Amino acid sequence: MIRLSSVLLLVIATAVNAIEFVGVGVGVGALSWDQAKSSSRFVTVEADSIWMWDIATEANLTPGLAERGGFALYAGETGIDTLRTTALFDGDLTTYFDPDENAAIERSSTILVDLGGTFNINR
């Protein structure tokens, strides 16, 4: 009985550290997940993966913008407005945005577009 209580006391009193390491790369150049995420300007990083969008050289990046989590904002005199940006992307690839056709958006307005991903563009 004394041995059993000694073993139980030893098990309860001994701290055990568990280490979880998720790394990117192999060998000396491997980075921890946090290091890889903080140095990932040209890739998209999620909790379970790192990738670049596979886009052809002449591809139009606006289709799928909303599905990738992107958006467009109109910066007018009253601040940033998301309600009037539907004119920017109508889903028709044969049309383009012309500020002269939309009285609510001035020609000199700032329009901010987030493509919803990181793209390697070399033009």
User: What ranges do the domains of the chain cover?
Assistant: 2-51
**What's the pLDDT at 83?**
46
Predicted TM-score (pTM) of this structure:
0.49
Distance CA 68, CA 84 (A): 20
23, 31 Cβ separation under 8 angstroms = yes
Q: In terms of pLDDT, which residue wins out, 121 or 47?
A: 47
Is the confidence at residue 6, as pLDDT, over 60? no
**What's the pLDDT at 105?**
72
Confidence of residue 80 (pLDDT cuts 50, 70, 90): low
Distance CA 108, CA 89 (A): 18
